[in-house]
Amino acid sequence: MSKRRVSRFSRYTGVRNRGINPQGFHVSQLKFYVLLLPLSVFMLLPIVFIFSSAFKPPDELFAFPPRFFVVSPTTQNFTDLFSKLTNSGIPVSRYLFNSVLITLVTVAASILVSSAAAYALSKKRFKLKNTLFTINNIALMFVPIAVTIPRFLVIQKFNLLDTFWVHILPMLAMPVGLFLLKQFIDGIPDEVIEAAQIDGASDWWIYLRIILPMIRPALATIAILTFQAAWNNADTSTLYINNESLRNLAFYLSTLTTTTTGANSVAGQGIAAAAALIMFLPNLLIFIFLQSQVMSTMSHSGLK
Amino acid sequence: MQISQSFQNWRAKEGSAYIFLSPYGLLFIVFIVVPVLAAFLLSFTFFDAIQAPRFVGMDNYISLLTRDDTFMRYVLPNTIQFAVIVGPGGYALAFMLAWMLAQLPKIPRTIFALILYSPSMTAGVAMAVVWKTLFSGDQTGYMNSFLMGLGLLREPIQWLQSPDYLMPIMIIVTLWSSMGIGFLAMLAGILEISPELYEAAAMDGMSSRWQEIFYITIPSMKPQMLFGAVMSIVGTFQAGAIGVTLSGSNPTPQYAGQLIVNHIEDYGFLRYEMGYAAAVSVVLLLMVLFFTRVSNRLFASEG
């Protein structure tokens, strides 16, 4: 064995700080920090910008030359946002309320619907099992935006236009969610379920008392994905809703940025910045709280 | 009698599986299967949303290939340019970043992962506010002001209305937000690989990190690579609406940022030629299918 090989190998003895998933710092990691730090700053800039702009008073929003960071922060933009009536006389708080309600119902329903299906696909024995899982895997490729029009026709046929449910029901068919949950449940040994069956447990008991508690990390991940999809969804309000009082905050924000009188007007820009922060912040907070669950779910995400 | 007997057997053996499956299954059929089939069927018709669809055979596809000047001159080249850069580009970037993060201890790794993932949390609406301000066309826009301050620019540029700059900006914005769920899957995949594999390779004389990546890391995490690839393909085509969001108009200025999803919307919801729009949808779905098959070839696990 050459000297070089010995020295390289010896690094793996004791506390391993080099290579994949090290325990502590090692000089060899410096080059990654050198690359990652500037990149992270670049990635963060627009997000810092959301925070900064939301608290800018009007004279700073339109300062020339523009200043990136806020100097004298104010909550005026938020007060304006919530005291404002839209052109159709709906207070902005109504959009926010709709968004919160829609998102909560969608997340809860999505967790139940997907986990029940994932339990069946993972632990039940039936003929079409593999076929159905394959179909769902093919549907991972599904690009909802491609079938906006036929979806519109379907929603029209089911009389779902201009209803609260049109925000929720299409979101629940989420192939990625089912896929991740099924993979995660595969990791639960069959013996656990067989033991419960011998003790006389019913399917529902097994699902509610064994499966759901054991897949909490995966449920957290589905909750995040559904949350992001529902909270940020402006399309439903645009395409399937005409009743202004049923539309959500994401839609309201999109009207601020698409109409020329919105973001470009003096009053509009501050409001848009405040609304953008309200749109962004919940995503960030939820992910920070649940990130370790997400990572443990993603290690089951392999697609074979 | 016989039939009802076998039905009872089936219900006892498999019925409960279908009870658990049915809510998801029903929604899946209504909101995914039926729309895809309907798009396929409508693509052979003329349909203006007022009168009943009229069968026209392959006419829509023939028009798409021979008469739709916009599609051939702008939409298709734009889509290919966008997809080729954002798809494989974003995917490679996500893998390299995930690999680098895996070389760091847990706490800095988590912080970096959070930072890199955060742009993908809020793709679309909320970010439009930011990009519109950063790339604002007058001299108070950040980009203009910054470049003019450096003396690189004399006159402010109408970034988002300019046919020259819209596409590059779309690509940068999409790449910026492309460290999504596929990125997290690949990071988890790299961390799952047993350290013994690397030790064994080191003992066999493997000395470069590039060799490690191509002979150990990637082959050991093919399933995650494939998942990441599918997510990146879908994300790329799904992100196509960004041009309209940024420029604020469909069609985009001189069709510079017009992608296939905007073309669908243009014909479907602005011109009400829904049969034709459906044909474009089918082409889009076929493109996704094609790219996914390619990545399947690359990352299929043996056995």
User: Residue A263's pLDDT is what?
Assistant: 44
pLDDT at residue number A206: 94
B 75-114 near A (Cβ less than 8 A):
97, 100-106, 108, 110, 112-114
What amino acid occupies position B232? S
Confidence of residue A7 (pLDDT cuts 50, 70, 90): very low
- Say whether B42 and A149 touch across the interface (CB within 8 A): yes
Pairs across A and B, CB distance < 8 A: 325
Contact criterion met (CB below 8 Å) for B180 and A225: no
Are A148 and B188 inside 8 Å of each other by CB?
Answer: no
So what's the pLDDT on residue A13?
45
Task: Name the one residue in this structure whose structure tokens are 């979101």.
Answer: A171
Residue B20's pLDDT band (cuts 50, 70, 90): very high
A249 assigned to some structural domain: yes
Residue A102 belongs to some domain of the structure: yes
How close B254 comes to chain A (CA, Å)?
18
Q: What is the CATH number of the domain that holds A121?
A: 1.10.3720.10
Whether residue B47 has pLDDT greater than 70: yes
What's the confidence (pLDDT) of residue B302? 59
Is B240 part of the contact surface with chain A (CB cutoff 8 Å)?
A: yes
Q: A284 vs B118: CB contact, 8 Å cut-off?
A: yes
Across the interface, of A21, A173, A276, the residue whose CB is closest to B28 is: A173
Instruction: Check residue A261 and give its pLDDT.
Output: 44
Residue of A nearest to B260 (CA): A146
Q: Between the ranges A100-104, A147-151, A251-255, B295-299, where is the mean pLDDT highest? A: A100-104
pLDDT tens-digit series, residues B279-293: 999 999 999 999 999
* Cα–Cα distance for residue pair A110/A168, rounded to 1 Å: 9
Instruction: Report the residue from A154, A232, A284 with minimal CB separation from B38.
Output: A154
B179, HSE (Cβ side, Cα atoms, 13 Å): 23
* pLDDT greater than 60 at residue A10: no
pLDDT score of A87: 67
Q: Is the confidence at residue A225, as pLDDT, over 80?
A: yes
Tell me if A65 and B261 make a contact (CB, 8 A cut-off).
no
Residue A266 pLDDT grade (very low, low, confident, very high; cuts 50, 70, 90): low
The predicted structure's pLDDT at residue A6? 41
Question: Residue B301: pLDDT above 80?
Answer: no
Cβ B129–A256 below 8 Å, yes or no? yes
Neighbours of B271 (CB within 10 A): 12
Chain A hits for B31, CB-CB cut-off 8 Å, are 151, 154, 169-170, 173
Answer whether B129 sits within 8 Å of A303, measured CB to CB: no
Asked whether residue A135 carries a pLDDT value surpassing 90, the answer given is yes
Contacts of A33 in chain B (CB under 8 A): 104, 108
For residue range A152-184, what is the model confidence (pLDDT) as tens digits? 989 999 999 999 999 999 999 999 999 999 999
Residue B240 has pLDDT above 90, yes or no: no
pLDDT exceeds cutoff 90 at A186: yes
pLDDT, tens only, B163-198? 889 999 999 999 988 888 899 999 999 998 888 888
**A8 compared with B156, residue with greater pLDDT:** B156
Q: What is the tally of structural domains in chain A? A: 1
With respect to residue A34, please indicate whether it lies within any of the assigned structural domains.
Answer: no
Per residue in A280-292, pLDDT (tens digit) is 999 999 999 988 8
pLDDT above 90 covers a percentage of chain A that reads 52
What would the pLDDT profile of B208-228 be if each residue is shown by its tens digit? 888 889 999 999 999 999 999
| pLDDT surpasses 90 at B125 | no
Measured between beta carbons, the chain B residues lying within 8 angstroms of A62 are: 140
Nearest to A276 by CA among A304, A257, A303, A301: A257
Residues in contact with B162: Cβ distance below 8 Å, sequence separation at least 6, in sequence order:
B253, B256
B223 and A43 within 8 Å at the Cβ level: the answer is no
pLDDT of residue B200: 87
In a domain, A258, yes or no: yes
Give the separation between CA B17 and CA A161, rounded to whole angstroms.
32
Bridge partner list, B55: B45
Residue A220 has a pLDDT of 93
CB B244 within 8 A of CB B257: yes
| Residues of chain A contacting residue B121, judged by C-beta atoms under 8 Å apart | 228, 280, 283-284, 287
Residue in chain B lying closest to A132 (CA) = B25
The answer to whether position A127 is within a domain reads: yes
The distance of B101 to chain A (nearest Cα, Å) reads: 8
State the pLDDT at residue B130. 84
Q: Which of A40, A145, A254 faces B238 most closely, judged by CB atoms?
A: A145
What domain range is A252 assigned to? 92-298
Distance from CA of B64 to the nearest CA of A (A): 16
Establish if A64 belongs to a structural domain.
no
Residue B50, SS3 per DSSP: coil
Contact B141, B135 (CB under 8 A): yes
Contact call for A5 and B116, based on CB within 8 A: no
- On average, the pLDDT of chain B sits at 88
Mean pLDDT score of chain A: 86
Q: Which of A124, A167, A257, A294 best tests the B interface by mutation, with the highest count of B CBs <10 A?
A: A257
Gyration radius from chain B CA atoms = 24
Q: Is the pLDDT of residue A4 over 50?
A: no
Check residue A267 and give its pLDDT. Answer: 62
Nearest chain B residue (CA) to A294: B184
Does A65 map to a domain? no
Cβ contact (<8 Å) for B248 and A260? yes
Does the ipTM exceed 0.85? yes
Q: Quick one: which H or E segment has residue B186? A: helix B181-192
ω before B223 within 30° of 0 (cis)?
no
DSSP one-letter code for B239: G
Cβ within 8 Å, pair B38-A136: no
Query: A64: Cβ–Cβ under 8 A, 6 or more apart, which residues?
Result: B139, B140, B145
Give the gap in angstroms from C-alpha B1 to the nearest C-alpha of chain A. Answer: 23
Q: Which of A111, A102, A183, A104 is nearest to A140 (CA)?
A: A183
B133 versus A212: the higher-pLDDT residue is A212
Spell out the domain ranges in chain B: 69-299
> Would you mind telling me the total number of residues written for chain B in this entry?
303
pLDDT digits (tens, 9 = 90+) for B59-118: 999 999 898 989 999 999 999 999 989 999 999 999 999 999 999 999 999 999 999 999
pLDDT class of A60 with cuts at 50, 70, 90? confident
Confirm or reject contact between B2 and chain A (CB < 8 A).
no
What confidence tens digit (pLDDT) does each residue in B250-259 have?
888 889 989 9
Per mean pLDDT, which range of A108-117, A128-137, A227-236, B125-134 is the poorest? B125-134
Q: Do A44 and B118 make contact, defined as CB atoms within 8 angstroms? A: yes
Above 70 in pLDDT, residue B1? Answer: no
pLDDT at A20: 80
Give B 43-62 residues with CB within 8 A of chain A. Answer: none
Q: How far is A25 from chain B (nearest CA, A)?
A: 7
Alpha helices in A55-186 (DSSP H): 58-61, 76-83, 92-123, 129-139, 148-157, 165-172, 175-186
In a domain, A79, yes or no: no
- CATH topology for B69-299 is MetI-like fold (1.10.3720)
Point out the least confidently predicted range of A7-21, A36-50, B12-26. A7-21
